[in-house]
Amino acid sequence: MKYNPRYNNVLNRKSYLRKGQPSNLEGNNGDSVLCLLSKGVALCYKIDGKWKELGVFKDIDRKLNKMSLNELSITSLQEIGSDTDKFLMSDNGTVKYVTGTNLLTYSGAQPALTFGIANTNAVKIDAADVADDDYARFTANGLEGRTLTQIKSDIGTGNSALVPSAGTSGHFLKHDGTFGQVAYSNLSGTPTIPANYITDDADDIMLGSLNLKKISDDATARSLIFEKNRATSVSAQDDDVVGAVEFKAYNDGGTPALVQVAKIEAKISDVTDNNETGKLTLSVLPTDDFSENNQASVGLTLEGTTSNYGQVNVTIGTSYGTVRHNSYNNIFAGASAFSSGRILLEPSNANDVNDKNTFIMEAYNDADDVFKIEVDVAGATTISTNDDGGATAHLTINPDGDTIFNTDGLVIQDNGDVSTPASGYGTLYVNSDVLYFKNDSGTATNLLAGGGGGSGLNSIVAAMVFG
């Protein structure tokens, strides 16, 4: 039996219940359809262009109490006229209906959704202008869309970027969207920094060694840089300390004191543009019987100078004894470069007027009262003294033994008459090419006058002077 879907029971019930069978204008030869007639359900078949009633199913009631089908296909359904709150479900192969409340219970669904932003709430869109590529932001009721421009305005970046432009090195992004320094006082609580970290602008103690290591196939290495900037003008000032390295240890006192064992300190002596000079000092702790300052004393100073291009002054020692080189031809020892009592060594230098090697010892109270030894070309040596305020720069030779002159001759310069020597002394001198001896009474004797008034050395005087 071929079923034509356009002849459904509803149409038959409405169109053919009164007529009894379909119109001959409908269908094709060979079509069959179940028709609901007033006398019952009949099988109608179209033969030779006419619908004929083949028979009435006496055993089929208009109301089906129970029907069992191996396969049920439904091609169309009518919409219900009202909410009957009934749903069909399969219960072990048997189709049954359930109510909406039972269906929610069976499926574990929530009877009514709670929208919002509280815990377990369902989130819904809470704005009419949400668009593709928007970013989501919570509102009190759900989510709204925010563009990139709106986000930058929301967080207050103040520029065209999502985050602020880079600030000064060492600054951090603050709560207002700008970069700046974060002071410890602005932090909540006391931050805990590991002992092996070094922090900025703090007196840190690092429990371990600082190893600056570089592995590379070149001649460079890591650098430890000390940089001095003044906060107001950036430029440093004369004698500003640029950096220092201190070495400290505890002594064995009843209450151990921390002492400065040694120190390396760098200063900028002169900040003048094109005339900058630096100063480096190396200090070490000496024994001090007069004080307990526990500070190292300067033992070595290197300082640039503007007086001579490329010159470095070198000072070795403390204020109690110094060896200093303060020019390219001068090395001296003493309290300082500008006090008396120094011992100076001036090597000869072809670039200077000093072409002699000179050794000078100053009087402790006057730098112009000196003893000097000068060595000239061919070893010619001059020993001299100078009394800046008079003529008492005496040279005394007091050997614990003989004074021996191994020379071609003893040369005495003709200085004319001389002053009377001190008591107990005599003076041997040349005056007008004549050798004289003057005693402490001021009597001058011509040593070349003979005993009988003739020429020749006075034998008595010669015996007195030369033994």
pLDDT tens track for 388-404: 988 888 888 899 999 88
Examine the pLDDT at 328 and tell me if it is beyond 70. no
* E-state strands within 48-192: 50-57, 87-91, 94-98, 135-138, 143-146, 172-173, 179-180
Residue located via tokens 């409908």: 26
Is residue 265 predicted with pLDDT exceeding 90? yes
At 330 the pLDDT is 58
Mean pLDDT for all residues in the chain: 77
What pLDDT shows up at residue 100? 78
Provide the pLDDT confidence category of residue 321 given band limits of 50, 70 and 90: low
Say whether pLDDT at 262 is over 80.
yes
Average pLDDT over residues 14-26: 60
For residues 294 and 285, what is the distance between their CA atoms, to the nearest angstrom?
7
Q: What are the E-state strand segments in 76-188?
A: 87-91, 94-98, 135-138, 143-146, 172-173, 179-180
* Every domain of the chain and the residues it spans: 1-77, 244-265+277-386, 402-467
Could you tell me the two tokens for 341? 């009592």
pLDDT in tens, 123-179: 888 888 888 888 888 888 888 888 888 887 777 665 555 555 555 666 676 766 677
d(CA 139, CA 143) in angstroms, rounded, equals: 6
Which of 61-75, 160-174, 192-206, 359-373 is the most confident on average? Answer: 359-373
Neighbours of 419 (CB within 10 A): 9
- Taking alpha carbons only, the member of 451, 458, 381, 394 closest to residue 427 is 394
Q: What are phi and psi of 464, to 5 degrees?
A: -70, -40
Q: Which of these, 239, 242, 238, lies nearest to 229 by C-alpha position?
A: 242
CA–CA gap between residue 380 and residue 383 (Å, rounded): 10
* Whole-number pLDDT of residue 233: 82
Q: For 431-460, what is each residue's pLDDT tens digit?
A: 999 999 999 999 999 988 865 444 555 565
Closest CA to 266 of 291, 236, 317, 301: 301
Least confident range from 79-83, 134-138, 325-329: namely: 325-329
